[in-house]
Amino acid sequence: DGGITQSPKYLFRKEGQNVTLSCEQNLNHDAMYWYRQDPGQGLRLIYYSQIVNDFQKGDIAEGYSVSREKKESFPLTVTSAQKNPTAFYLCASTHGTGNSPLHFGNGTRLTVT
């Protein structure tokens, strides 16, 4: 079945450590997105990528980094510079053309202590 896989579902890290969240899609989608969600809040855009080897900052990119070396993969690194990294992280993808909807993964819940 086609879809988006985020792993792991739960992730625990110590403060000061970088951590990378995985996002893989087999939908042959061109565009991929990372969102952050805090309790009781909506989704905030971190980074997005329309094509391989290219990506743009969203509204809250500080303290995060991404790469897009393959069409199907868009990993997110939460660096030690991110002041409040504990959150629910969601990855999504969509075709770059046409009026196609976003498809979301089931998220990674990151806890930093």
Q: Using an 8 Å Cβ cutoff, are 72 and 5 in contact? A: no
- Compute CA 61 distance to the chain's CA centroid, rounded to the nearest angstrom: 11
Q: Could you tell me the two tokens for 93?
A: 């993808």
- Which residues, 21 to 40, sit near another protein by CB under 8 A? 31, 33, 35
- Shortest Å distance, C-beta 29 to another protein: 13
Query: Among residues 50, 67, 73, 79, which is the contact residue for another protein, using CB under 8 A?
Result: 50
Which residue do the tokens 């992730």 mark? Answer: 11
Interaction between residue 53 and another protein (CB under 8 A): no
- Which residues, 91 to 110, sit near another protein by CB under 8 A? 92, 94, 96-99, 101-107, 109
DSSP 95: -
Which residues are at the interface with another protein (CB under 8 A)? 4, 6, 31, 33, 35, 41-45, 48, 50, 56, 58-59, 88, 90, 92, 94, 96-99, 101-107, 109
